Homo-oligomer: A and B are copies of this chain.
C-alpha cells in the first residue's frame, strides 16, 4: 500500500474498478478473473492484473479474485475505510447540489457546514438542515473543528484567497469547482472538477 510509484493513470482507474466490483458484489458474484472483468470494463486483463499488483497480490492463481475481498481492499486503498469531515465554501446552487450529493450518496463523507460571503442572500432558498455561516466565521470554525476536506464552489478570486485560511485551519484536501488551478503547499491536495472544460471536451468530440 505504498504511495510512491503509483502513477496518476492508475489512481484514476481505481475508482472505476471499485465501481464495477461494487456492481458485481451487488449481483452476488463471488469470484471474477481478470479476463472476465476486462470484458465488463473494456480494458485489458493485463492492465487489471498489473494495476492490482501494484498494491499487493489480491488474486489467486487458477481462481481469480474474490469480489467482496477485492472490493474492500480497493476501498481501503482509496481511503474509504475512514470518516471525513467536509465543509462547503459557497452556498449557491452548485455548492448546495454538491454538498447534498455528498451527504446523501457518499458513505463516510460528512458535510458539517456551509460558508458564504453573504449568507443572508441564501436564507430564503436554504433547503438543508446543515448550517450556513458567514465566511468570517470560517477561521474560528476551523479552530474548533477538525475538517479534512473543503469543497470550493465559489468564484476564482475568492477560491484563491481562501486557500491560506484552509491551510492554517488544518484542512488537508480541497475539492475545487472553481475555474482555476490552485497553488497549495505540498502537504495539501487539490482535486479539481472543471465543468467548463469537461463541456468543451464534449463539444470538441461532437465536432470531430
Contacts and interface: CB of A to CB of B under 8 A. Distances in A.
A32 interface: no
Interface stretch (A113-121, A161-169, A197-205): A197-205
Contacts of A94: 97-98, 101
Classify chain A: how many residues form its interface, as a range: 35 or more
A102 interface: yes
B200 A148 contact: no
Copies in the complex: 2
A12 interface: yes
A148 B18 CA distance: 32
Nearest to A108: B203
Interface string A89-109: 000011011101110011001
Interface in A132-168: 148-149
Interface of A: 3, 6, 11-12, 14-16, 18-19, 42, 77-80, 84, 93-94, 96-98, 100-102, 105-106, 109, 125, 127, 148-149, 172-173, 175, 179, 181, 189, 191, 193-208
5 contacts: A19-B196, A42-B181, A79-B206, A94-B98, A189-B202
